Amino acid sequence: MKKWIVAIIAIVCLALLAIFVKRVFDNTIQLNPVAFRMGSRSFRWYSVFIALGTVLGYLFMSLFGVRQGMKVEHIAQAFIFAIIFGVLGARLYYVFSRWDRYKDNPLEIFLTQRGGLAIYGAVLGGFLAITLYTRFKKNCSFTLFQGTDLAAAFLPLSQAIGRWGNFFNYEAYGSPTDLPWKMFIPLTHRVPGYERYEYFHPTFLYESVWDVLTFFILFFYYTKKRKHHGEATALYFVIYSLGRIFIESLRLDSLYWGTWRAAQVTGVTLIAIGLLSFFSFRKKGRPISNPILKET
């Protein structure tokens, strides 16, 4: 298919999406969080978008990883471990941040269908999974930072897609606002104490846009500018966290550690670690011996 046809299709799809989102934002259309049902089981849009982002992320990682000499079975195995550890990490991060809620009802920790996952926990859990996989897998076709660089290049794209699950749930929104792009939140979904307000910052959208920008920056750096393994990983922590810190300041549903927002504390910590790691990798990291993309 010619590039100009693809471009036209993409523009039309984006225009239709913008119209749909605008009508939801001004309450012309009200969303149903359930995407479809199979018998007595319902599947929510949140799960659909998380799954879509995960699958696309894996496909891109496999494509680019194989071109760098990584074995597809190793990529798949590491990816599965990263998903498992990511879910566990996301849940543990959330439970730790809301321990006052769970300490007297520990069985609720396992009721993930009621919500309660945190993206920073998922990222750290996934990083741990790749660390363990590359450490104990015999004859692994990639090193730790080869694996995390590949993941870091495409993770923001998966995050950008997954955030639209929050859109259908009317969640992850910010403080009340009268800005032109304000989002209507139904009364049943409003944070206690904000019932009299109708329009709020669509912080899910802010983060999705930031994730897309992060993806383009990291993909360009990963394929064109990276000199040593680990650089893209470090930059992911810095760039994603910079946006998250500012967006988090608007949100009404933040997790707190004492009087501090958990995501902001984690973000500042990861920015510091990311910057130190980036300059360390640039000075004495393992050089990239092969080109990112082989000629086909």
pLDDT of residue 5: 80
Quote the pLDDT of residue 116: 79
Encoding tokens for residue 186?
């139904």
Q: What is the pLDDT of residue 122?
A: 95
Counted domains in the chain? 1
Element (H, E) at 99: helix 99-102
CA distance 275 to 209: 23
Q: Is residue 36 part of a domain?
A: yes
Question: pLDDT grade, residue 62 (50/70/90)?
Answer: very high
DSSP-derived secondary structure letter, 225? I
For residue 3, the model assigns a pLDDT of 74
The angle that helices 72-97 and 144-162 make with each other, rounded to 10 degrees, is 60
Residue 288, token pair as written in the block: 């990239």
Q: What is the pLDDT of residue 51?
A: 94
Of the listed ranges 65-69, 130-134, 215-219, the one predicted with least confidence: 65-69
Average pLDDT of the chain is: 91
pLDDT given at position 214: 98
At 200, list the tokens. 């709020």
Helix (H, G, I), strand (E, B) or coil at 284: helix
In a domain, 289, yes or no: no
Picking from 263, 260, 246, 170, the residue whose alpha carbon sits closest to that of residue 209 is 246
Residue 198 CB partners (closer than 8 Å, separation 6+): 27, 184, 185
Q: What is the CA radius of gyration of the chain?
A: 20
Q: Is there a domain that residue 236 lies in?
A: yes
**296 part of a folded domain:** no
17 lies in some domain: no
Instruction: Please give the pLDDT value at position 143.
Output: 93
Position 263 scores a pLDDT of 96
pLDDT computed for residue 115 by the predictor: 67
**Is pLDDT above 90 for 48?**
yes
pLDDT of residue 296: 34
Give the distance, in angstroms, between the CA of residue 265 and the centroid of all CA atoms in the same chain.
18
pTM of structure: 0.91
Q: Is residue 95 one of the residues assigned to a domain? A: yes
Domain that holds residue 233: 31-284
Res 113 pLDDT > 70: no
| Chain mean position to CA 18 | 21
Instruction: With cut-offs at 50, 70 and 90, classify the pLDDT of residue 251.
Output: very high
279 assigned to some structural domain = yes
Give domain status of residue 242, yes or no: yes
Percent of the chain exceeding pLDDT 90 equals: 78
pLDDT of residue 295: 39
